Every structure is written in C-alpha cells, then in structure tokens.
Structure 1
Amino acid sequence: MDMTTETIEKIQELSLQAAGEKIQIVDGQNYYIDSVGDLCLMKPENLANKAISLSTLTGLVDLVKNMKERDDQKLFVRVESPTTVNVFTALDSYGRREWLAESNATTPNIQFSYFIDAEKLNIMLQSQFVQSEDRDIILKVIGNLKEENVRKASDDGVSQSVTVQSGVANVSEVKVPNPVELSPYRTFLEIEQPSSKFIFRMRKGMQGAIFGADGGAWKIDAMNLIKEYLENEFSNEIKAGHVVVVA
C-alpha cells in the first residue's frame, strides 16, 4: 500500500509523541518539547565533521581559494602562533562557528638551552639555522676548537675568548660575540625566518649551548610575517569581503 505524504507525517508525529516529545515552530525555528516539558531548540547538524589538516601556507591558500561551496560565507583565517594557522567560518544563526582547516608548520626540534658537544652543535647550526654572519663566526670557533683551548678560554661573564687553530701551526685568539643574532627554522618556510638574539656559551668538554635572549619577541615578528603573506595571497578575496586575516 502506498502511503501519502500526509500519512507519513502523521506517523512521524505519532512517533515523536510516543517518545514524549513534540515538534513546534516558534518564529521560524524548530523546537521540541522533551519528556520533562522543556522547550529545546533543534539545531541542524550540517557543520564540517573535521578540519582539514595541512602543513604549509601554500596548501592553506590553495584550499581556501577552491572552497567554492563557501563562496557565500565570510571566512576568517587566524594566525594562532608561528606554527599554526586556522580557518573558521563566521557565526551561524545558532552562534556556531565551523572549523574548516588547520595548517601546522613542520619545524626541526632545535636543542636550545642545552649544552651539546661541538660536533652536534656544528651540525645543528648548519642544518637548522639560516646562514648569517654570526652563525658563521660560531661555526668557525667550534670548528677549530681543541680541548685544551677551551680550558684556556677567558670569560668575563658576558663574552668569551678562546684560542683556535688558524693554520697548520698558527693559533689566534677569537672573541665570541654575545649576544649573537641568529635565524633558526621555526616557522613556515614560505616566509622569511625571523632573526632574534641568542647567548652563545661554551664550557669544558668541547660543549656549547645557545640560549634565547629576546623574551619570545620573535613570535610576534613571525606571526606578523605570516599575516602579511596571507593578506598578499588573499588580496582579491579580502577586497571582496570573503576573507578576513587576523593575527
């Protein structure tokens, strides 16, 4: 037997009543009365189930530009930290905001504030820091150090001087600059790596360490650089009022 739409709706209503609930429409919104008589708003479950995970700014830009199903929505691209950017929708009529995508930069695990042997420090500086004058000076010092040179190092508490091998038989005294300005790889590679000041220290046993000395100010610089990059990439979308970049 074929059931009419009216019959189906009646069955659905009876089913709801049997469960002690009833649907009501108030000001165009659907509500249900639960078993204890409370009026509860029915919210449609049409939000994104899970944010898309990315690891680059380029991928994030490509994704947002190709979200054609979101062309009628305003999107907020939020720079959360030097390594994280999220994409959200504007609030819907129920006060909800969809989390559409996240991009987390892949950065090396740099050993700050720990004394490590000269060879490991050499490798770390060459592979995890942008080339700079101060980086090269540190590399020169630790690359020519001998155990006896470190023992003879002069130290006034701020700067250190050590004797390094400058030739086959020649030696020279080198004053290690402090603080040094270095640019570790610690944010998205699409932007310039922000530089900051570090304290470089050495101790017996052919060991050295790098300590942060800017109070974390580099994080603000990195986030501003990310914001600038995204504003440039989304220039047309921003003009159209479709995308807002915040940091």
Structure 2
Amino acid sequence: MIKEAIQYIVGLGNTRIEKVGDQVYSTQPIHKVSIPTPNTIQVRSLSGLVEYLQSGFDGEEQLMIHVESPTDVSVFSSFNRDFNRKALIEAKAMIPGYSFERWYDAEEFNIKLQSVFVKNEDRDIMLKVVGNIKEEDVRTVGDNGVSQSVTAKVGVATVGQVEVPNPVALKPYRTFVEVDQPESDFIFRMQNGPRCALFEADGGAWKVQAMRNIKDYLQFALQEEFNAGKLVIIA
C-alpha cells in the first residue's frame, strides 16, 4: 500500500519518499486532499429536524441521530475515507431565560413563574405566597433552615403566617417545547426586599430525563424511517 502510494506520488514530480528504519520521509511537503463535507443546517426545533429527515432531501444513506444534551440534537452520516462524518443538520432548542441561584424581586419572580414554568400544583402555591406577601412585614420571617414562613395576606382583609413550600417540584422550560418538560425539585428561598430565588436540588437528573423524552419523541415521529433501518439514535 505504501509502495503504491510512493510510486504514484513520485510519478507526479520530483518528490522522493524514502523509508529510514520504520519511518517514512518525504523530500517535499505533502498535503492531504480531503473529501469535502457539507455545511450543517441549523434549526431551532425538533419538528424542523423531523421534517428534514422525512424529506430525504440529501439522499437515503443511513444516518445517526445523537441527542447530545437537553438542548442539542445532531444528525450525521458514517465516516468517509478520511474518517470524517457529514454533520447534516443540528437542532438547538430555544428556551426562555431564567437564572437559578439568582435573587429576583417579588414582582419579577412572579412574572417568571408564570412565563418560564409549566403550570403545576407547586407553581400555583408559590404564586399565592409570592403574590400576597405584605412588604411592610416581610422582615418577620421564620426560618428553621429547611422551611420558611412569611407574613402574607391569607384572606380578603386578613394577614397571617404562611408556610413557604420547600422543596418544590417545578417544570421550567429547559428543553425543546415539543417534549414534556422534566419535573424536578428546587429549594425555594426568600430574603428581605422581598426577594426570591430557586436552587436546583436534583443533582442534574432532569437532564437524563429530558434526553430520554427527546429520544422517545424522535422515535415516534420517525417510526417509519427507524423501522426501515435508515436511522439510528443514541442519547
């Protein structure tokens, strides 16, 4: 194989290739001519990725879908002669902005709860607590290290001590909107101001669930292609 390559290259010009011991040397620089690969298509949803794969636009070769993270999915071919793969399309999720471990004032936190989190029981409880805190009495806070209580409105014209739920099970938008958002535990804390913050408390387990949800969605949406052996998926 090396001998054939040497004869072919020497035949092109004055380049000489010699073997010294186990090493092969050339008298001139030699550059590899690589097989070109296409630019990767960028989409922002799983549905766009599915539509591309169903179209067969770039041929019918077997492809692999890689769920890289809760927000990134890529599709590529097998490697070519140069051991490079064609990265055909990549989906990156559009998710609303929310910073965990950051303190928000009560009004901004209230808005974030309604716009960045899927409606569930714990979210609604938190909205009632945050929306009814009496600012002039917020310094009257009970804290045993795990749960807190604050002075808040508990009726139309009454004020009382309200237990702040902790931990809370919430479903923030953290992956593609086409799939179910994973529910996970958060530590909910409050400070004078009033200010509120959420701290993740599941060790990142939600990422594994989100990737599993993406894989299930793609397997269902591309069932015909999977059954025909055109696609392989890993997560």
On the 8 A contact 1:121/1:208 being kept in 2, the answer is yes
Picking from 74, 98, 114, the partner of 1:126 is: 114
Within-5 A mapping of 1:1-247: 16-17=12-13, 20=14, 36=27, 42-45=33-36, 47-48=37-38, 50-71=39-60, 73-247=61-235
Q: Residue 209 of structure 1 aligns to which amino acid in structure 2?
A: A
Identity %: 47
Aligned residue for 1:70, secondary structure, equals coil
On the 8 A contact 1:146/1:206 being kept in 2, the answer is no
In 1: Cα distance, 2:49 partner to 2:191 partner: 44
**RMSD, aligned CA:** 2.2
In 2: Cα distance, 1:121 partner to 1:243 partner: 43
- CA displacement 1:17-46 (0-9 Å, x = unmatched): 3xx469xxxxxxxxxxx972688765433x
Deviation at 1:173, TM superposition (A): 2.2
On the 8 A contact 1:81/1:223 being kept in 2, the answer is yes
In 1: Cα distance, 2:104 partner to 2:43 partner: 33
Closer, same or farther: CA 153–103 of 1 in aligned 2, 3 Å: same
Q: Residue 44 of structure 1 aligns to which amino acid in structure 2?
A: I
Closer, same or farther: CA 164–94 of 1 in aligned 2, 3 Å: same
In 1: Cα distance, 2:188 partner to 2:232 partner: 41
Aligned residue for 1:151, secondary structure, equals coil
Q: Residue 62 of structure 1 aligns to which amino acid in structure 2?
A: E
Larger Rg: 1
TM-score where L is the length of structure 2: 0.86
Deviation at 1:243, TM superposition (A): 0.4
Closer, same or farther: CA 142–40 of 1 in aligned 2, 3 Å: closer
In 1: Cα distance, 2:129 partner to 2:137 partner: 11
On the 8 A contact 1:129/1:185 being kept in 2, the answer is yes
Closer, same or farther: CA 99–21 of 1 in aligned 2, 3 Å: farther
- CA displacement 1:180-213 (0-9 Å, x = unmatched): 0000011100001111100000011111111111
Which structure 2 residue ranges, 5 or more long, are not aligned? 1-11, 17-24
Q: Residue 234 of structure 1 aligns to which amino acid in structure 2?
A: L
In 2: Cα distance, 1:171 partner to 1:69 partner: 66
Q: Residue 152 of structure 2 aligns to which amino acid in structure 1?
A: V
In 2: Cα distance, 1:168 partner to 1:234 partner: 53
Q: Residue 111 of structure 2 aligns to which amino acid in structure 1?
A: I
Question: May I ask how many residue pairs the two structures share in their alignment?
Answer: 218
- CA displacement 1:93-131 (0-9 Å, x = unmatched): 332211111110001110210111000000000000001
Aligned residue for 2:138, secondary structure, equals helix
Closer, same or farther: CA 120–199 of 1 in aligned 2, 3 Å: same
